[in-house]
Amino acid sequence: MKLFVGLGNPGAKYAGNRHNIGFMALDRIAEDHGFGPWRRGYQGKVSEGRLGAEKVVLLKPETFMNLSGQSVRAAVDFYKFTLADITVFHDELDLAPGKCRVKQGGGHAGHNGLRSIHAHLGEAYGRVRLGIGHPGHKDAVANYVLNDFAKSEQAWLDDLLRGISDGAEALAAGDAARFQNAVALRTNPPRPSSGTQKPESAAKPKAEKTTAPAATEPPADLSLLAKLKDFFR
């Protein structure tokens, strides 16, 4: 069994915030993979379902970001998860918008939700870092993360969330490379081949080009008639 935790702040006021991209990721997984209805539990909202062979618990803490660790700890204590069973989805200022990276363990880099989880559980859990970009100055960070994604960002945001859902089964199975490949196929789809071969439409005029018919010998009966005429001259 695995625990996927999405970080964010509860309530409609924060629903579209950049800081809530972790909630958004879990909502997309739950919807696309037929998870059960969200219910209250462990100081948050919980939904259960399966991703491939793995049973997965989705948790969205409702303790507000700075106290996320309380909710995660409550779920861990109930289900007896190990830190290796936990993956936390969170916004990442140090990644460009739409980028996604999987990480196991390490510091919290000043993220208040991760800081709280560290305090309750330690640092050896998995993370899915979801790039939202940086506003350019540290004094602007709080306002930036607590504002909604702009309309101009909706396209890459939707691609990212779709990619996360596509790769969720691989992530639950512990295959981070296959998960990130699934995300990349949505956010950076392969471009059409740029080889030198002309497209069929361009080659068509050449295929239709006609040439003068090659010279052919006259039919046999006409040749014989001509020879008889020469003989009796």
Q: Return the active site residues.
A: 19
In the sheet where 2-6 sits, what is the strand order?
39-41, 44-51, 54-61, 2-6, 86-92, 126-131, 100-104
The 3-state DSSP composition of the chain as helix, strand, coil percent (nearest 5) reads: 45, 20, 35
Asked whether the beta carbons of 129 and 88 are under 8 A apart, the reply is no
Token match 């209250």: residue? Answer: 40
Residue in the block written with tokens 């739409």? 98
C-alpha distances (whole Å) from 66 to each of 63, 80, 130, 199 are 8, 23, 18, 57
Cα 57 to Cα 70: distance, rounded to the nearest angstrom: 16
The kind and range of the H/E element at 45 are strand 44-51
Q: How far is CA 3 from CA 60, 185, 212, in A?
A: 11, 25, 75
DSSP H or E run through 181: helix 176-187
